Copies of this chain bind each other. A is one copy, B any other.
Amino acid sequence: MKKFEEKTTATERIFEGKVISVRIDEVRLPNGKSSKRELVEHPGGVAIVAVTEEGKIILVEQYRKPMDKTTIELPAGKREKGEEPIVTAQRELEEETGYTCEKLEYVHSFYTSPGFADELLFLYEAIGLQKKENPASLDEDEFVELMEVTLEEAVEMIQDGRIQDAKTIIGIQYLQIKNK
């Protein structure tokens, strides 16, 4: 038995989408009372810290509908069903940035919103980046623009709010700690 476990007594499926699904679980709390939990199921994904030979971090600028904002993030993407995260990372690095790499080193994995969603992200560092001549291209509904910034610039972008994405802050702080 997990500590403070909430046993599910009933489940209502609300929505089955292409990316997310939503359900409500009725649960029995540790004190015996009942409550409801609104839950989002997500396939999870990867994010990649990729530093070029010139010491620049590759970032991706893209429009994000949930916030109606253009954001600056690490290269990242969702896992296909049954796909190993490292394979997702290889694919997304090439599609989003046009780079391949010699090796992907695992850094951390983390849940992005454990209060309501099961999304788990695997963070990798790309070692030995190489520009590919004819890289695989993006999905047809993805529009992104690449940026390359120094670590100092990236840290400044966190401080002034131009970078406001959890996985990207984790990746940049990882580099700060590694380079200290």
The proximity string for A residues 151-180 relative to B, scoring 1 for CB distances below 8 Å and 0 otherwise, is 000000011010011110110011011001
Residues of B within 8 A of A177 (CB): 173, 176-177, 180
How many angstroms from the CA of A25 to the CA of B42 in the assembled complex? Answer: 18
Q: Main SS of chain A's interface residues?
A: mixed
| A2-B70 in contact given A40-B20, A170-B166 (Cβ < 8 Å) | yes
Q: Which of A51-59, A90-98, A111-119, A124-132 contacts B (4 or more CB under 8 A)?
A: A111-119
A146 within 8 A of B: no
Q: Once the chains bind, are B113 and A119 in contact (CB under 8 Å)?
A: yes
A: contact size bracket:
35 or more
Q: Are A111 and B40 in contact (CB under 8 A)?
A: no
- Please tell me which one of the listed residues B15, B29, B36, B167 contacts residue A143 in the complex, with CB atoms under 8 A apart: B29
**Contact between A166 and B20 (Cβ–Cβ < 8 Å)?**
no
For the complex, is A14 an interface residue (Cβ under 8 Å from B)? yes
Decide: A169 near B108, CB < 8 A? Known: A29-B141, A63-B5.
Answer: yes
A-B contact pairs, 5 of them (CB 8 A): A5-B70, A14-B15, A22-B22, A22-B40, A35-B141
